[in-house]
Amino acid sequence: MVASEKLARSTDTHSVTNQPPALQDYNLYSNDTALVECIKKEGAGWAEEKLQAFGQLIGREETIKLGYLANENTPVLKTHDRFGHRIDEVEFHPAWHDLLSISVENRLINLPWVEPKAGAHVARAAMMYLMVQIESGHMCPVSMTFSCVPALKKQPEVFAAFESALMSNQYDQRFIPAAQKRGMLVGMSMTEKQGGSDVRANTTQARPVTAKGPGQLYELTGHKWFCSHPMSDAFVMLAQAEGGLSCFLVPQFAPSGERNQIRLQRLKSKLGNKSNASAEIELEGAQGWLINEEGRGVATIIEMVSHTRLDCALSSAGLMRQALTQALHHTQYRSAFKKRLIEHDLMRNVLCDLALESEAATVLTMRLARAYDASASDRKEDLFRRIATAVAKYWICKRAPSHVYECLEALGGNGYVEESMMPRLYREAPVNSVWEGSGNVICLDVLRALTNEPETATVLLDEIKQVAGQHKELDAQIADAETMLARKSEREARHLVEHLAVLLQAKLLVESAPQAVSDAFIDSRIKGGWGKTFGTLTSDVDTQVILQRAF
Ligand SMILES: Cc1cc2nc3c(=O)[nH]c(=O)nc-3n(C[C@H](O)[C@H](O)[C@H](O)COP(=O)(O)OP(=O)(O)OC[C@H]3O[C@@H](n4cnc5c(N)ncnc54)[C@H](O)[C@@H]3O)c2cc1C
């Protein structure tokens, strides 16, 4: 047999059938009915056109490819140049910079600060939720830059020095002093080797260069165990000053124009979040400005942390939505046992259950974003924001890994293969629960809110009770939550927070989703009898309505 005949024969065996087409060139926004409805409901209807365009842009084949490239070509630390000089730089693949350009140009780093009108937080939250579906590693510097603004505003002259770069919509990747840049990114470094959750255990020392006090320059000496995106133009850091734990803004270049004394020791080898670099750093007299009074470090940085916690919940909701989209897409095209997968009753049950969880995460995060819009002028919304941020961060971030895993399984073996995107989504899912306050720490924060600001309980219950009288089971569980809220028991804190989150989600679904969706959610998550894995909804669930809505 001649070679060409051999080749023809081997090609004959390679016919590709029963595989779905690639999910690309679609609009992530307009395909997400629950999100589109939330945008109107939560006051960002004016952003509809922008969100449509954004959803289309990031659903393009080229944009989706950037997510793959940035994660396959991970950042590389260059501590020294070829002559032996320290350079402490991290090199990223061009795709990383392209992704950051998209996010910065669309103002994911500052929309509500630049256009502080009703719905601005909701519109920005929607873009965050959408962009994370394409690539979530780069959302870390995006979120930190967005979130640092309320903390930095506590020191107006320091904020003013960086304001134009922080409010820019240009991504400027040049490694030069921030004052010379068209736009900047900011990181945050609190965690040290001996303590992350317990930041009061920080040992990094801060001494005034000349005078002490708010806005003055200090030198920081010590280490940080985690410093994500170490190529940021400045970092919000905590360090011990004479007056106690304090907050500083430490620029990459010292005020003299020289590189600041920040040494990158090594990059973490991480489970996920591969496109992003997370470094261990040493501070050898790095200069930074004191933000707010000495000793007010936690109170100052908490303004930033509140916003990054919102973003954790949004990111997890986005990951869940993308995983669900992939599962729905695959099961529509793939057949087994003479029927499309989505036509099999048991698969429909799984997909519906996953869709309910995803929609519940979407409505809760968008409602929460509205509280950020309204909190400056409305005390009740501010109290709601205080407690609901922790409740949503805890619950949605906890739900994401198991949700994404179940979506992955809907793709069968393909879901276990990198090209499907599912392994990346799966690896990404746990981090939102770990950073910015791990699970227990967040539950303790809920108890702290209930103790220090008892009205938070009333506001949260009032919100849930807006749908009282419509569902027997819901009413019974609200009464139960009231009892638990009064107990404020540390041992049952997870149970309480879970309870509050699910009630809040149920309330929002009753308000805005078709009855088939809210009934199925309440019957499974509140009434009881729901199994321990996804796919255990009762047989009276209207799968047609739920699935059509999801895709
Ligand atoms: C990929 C990645 C990037 C990161 N980037 C940054 C960064 O840029 N900047 C930064 O500052 N940090 C960063 N971190 C660190 C992260 O914020 C911390 O890991 C996190 O806050 C937990 O701190 P820890 O690791 O010291 O754990 P620990 O504080 O030791 O906590 C371990 C466990 O104990 C639990 N726990 C703690 N206290 C209590 C308590 N009182 N009661 C019950 N349980 C408790 C926690 O919930 C957690 O489950 C990053 C982490 C990761 C994984």
Output the pLDDT for position 528. Answer: 81
Q: 197 CA distance to ligand 1 centroid (A)?
A: 5
Residues 520 and 378 in one domain: yes
- The string of DSSP codes covering 466-532 is TTTTS-HHHHHHHHHHHHHHHH--STTHHHHHHHHHHHHHHHHHHHHS-HHHHHHHIIIIIIS---S
Q: Given pLDDT bands bounded at 50, 70 and 90, which one contains residue 6? A: low
Tokens standing for residue 59: 């659903």
**Over residues 79-106, mean pLDDT:** 97
Residue 252, Cβ density class (10 Å: 0-12 exposed, 13-18 middle, ≥19 buried): buried
pLDDT in tens, 47-67: 999 999 999 999 999 999 999
* Residue 101 domain boundaries: 33-166
Q: In this structure, are residues 222 and 239 in contact, taking their beta carbons and an 8 Å threshold?
A: yes
pLDDT in tens, 319-338: 999 999 999 999 999 999 99
| Amino acid at the residue 285 | G
Q: Provide CB contacts within 8 A for 294, sequence distance 6+.
A: 212, 213, 241, 242, 243, 244, 246
The closest alpha carbon to 467, from 430, 504, 516, 517, belongs to: 504
Q: Given pLDDT bands bounded at 50, 70 and 90, which one contains residue 14? A: confident
Tokens standing for residue 105: 């140009």
Integer CA distances (angstroms), 378 to 366, 373, 390, in order: 17, 9, 19
Q: Return the half-sphere exposure (C-beta side, CA atoms, 13 A cut-off) of residue 101.
A: 11
Probe target for ligand 1 pocket from 223, 224, 226, 248, with the most ligand atoms within 8 Å of CB: 226
- Rounded to whole angstroms, the maximal C-alpha distance in the chain is 88
Number of folded domains that form the chain: 3
Residues 115 and 258 in one domain: no
Enumerate residues lining ligand 1, CB below 6 A. Answer: 187-191, 195-198, 226-228, 270, 273, 278, 431, 434-435, 438-441, 444
Q: Which amino acid residue places its CA nearest to atom 7 of ligand 1?
A: 227
**Over residues 18-28, mean pLDDT:** 98
pTM of the model: 0.97
- Domain final residue pick, 123, 138, 166: 166
Residues 289 and 205 in one domain: yes
Q: 441 CA distance to ligand 1 centroid (A)?
A: 9
Output the pLDDT for position 2. Answer: 58
Coil, strand, or helix at residue 94?
helix
Output the pLDDT for position 13. Answer: 83
Q: What is the chain's mean pLDDT, rounded? A: 96
Can you give the CATH number for the domain in which 237 is found? 2.40.110.20
Residues 503 and 390 in one domain: yes
- The string of DSSP codes covering 327-378 is HHHHHHH-EETTEEGGGSHHHHHHHHHHHHHHHHHHHHHHHHHHHHHHTTT-
Probe target for ligand 1 pocket from 191, 220, 236, 298, with the most ligand atoms within 8 Å of CB: 191
Q: In this structure, are residues 330 and 521 in contact, taking their beta carbons and an 8 Å threshold?
A: no
Residues 249 and 319 in one domain: no
pLDDT in tens, 487-545: 999 999 999 999 999 999 999 999 999 999 999 999 999 998 788 899 999 999 999 99
Residues 268 and 359 in one domain: no
The closest alpha carbon to 400, from 502, 320, 313, belongs to: 320
Output the pLDDT for position 3. Answer: 59
Q: Which amino acid residue places its CA nearest to atom 43 of ligand 1?
A: 440
Q: Which amino acid residue places its CA nearest to atom 16 of ligand 1?
A: 435
